[in-house]
Structure 1
Amino acid sequence: MAWFGLGKNRSALGRFLDTSGITQQEVSKKSGVPHSTISEWCDGSKRTRPIRRTALKVLRAIKELTGEAKEYEDFWA
């Protein structure tokens, strides 16, 4: 059973992963970005943003996992 985002503040990235049914672990494994970093970016109470090089790894992983092409500004505007 998945409890995606239950009672948590979520960023745009976190909400997207929740609605897409993708786990942070899947994105971490596919992108090579540490799970703790992905988790921080999904936390809506924090205002951290990745450098573009790292974000591109995550965006490529999201495209592979969902088939949807996303831009940096979609999650970290």
Structure 2
Amino acid sequence: MFGTGKPRTKLGKWLDKKGVTQSWLMKKSGLNKNTISELTGDKNRLPTLRTMQKVIKALREIDPKVNSNDFWDV
């Protein structure tokens, strides 16, 4: 849980820990607000391969070692 008491996924918790906003991720990844919101708050939401690639590419600007296994069991 973070801030407003909403549940957070591994991705959401990582963003919180790093001080990264969902808006930043939205701009860097080119994904829409709803997709980012679902990926950071809905533990049942699995991204498509293309969406996962966009997220990881953006996050590697912050941590070059990050990979999809850090957030999703794929």
Q: Pick the TM interval, shorter chain.
A: 0.7 to 0.9
TM-score by length of 2: 0.86
Gaps of 5+ in 2: none
Alignment of 1:8 with 2:6, yes or no, is yes
Alignment of 1:68 with 2:64, yes or no, is yes
Counterpart amino acid of residue 15 in structure 1: K
Identity %: 40
Counterpart amino acid of residue 59 in structure 2: I
Corresponding residue to 2:49 among 45, 49, 52: 52
Task: Count matched residues.
Answer: 72
Counterpart amino acid of residue 31 in structure 2: V
Gaps of 5+ in 1: none
The list of structure 1 runs, each at least 4 consecutive aligned residues, that deviate by more than 6 angstroms after superposition, is none
Counterpart amino acid of residue 47 in structure 1: N
CA deviation digits over 1:15-65, x for unaligned, max 9?
Answer: 000000000110010010112101111114x4010011111111010111x
**RMSD of aligned C-alpha atoms?**
1.6
TM-score by length of 1: 0.83
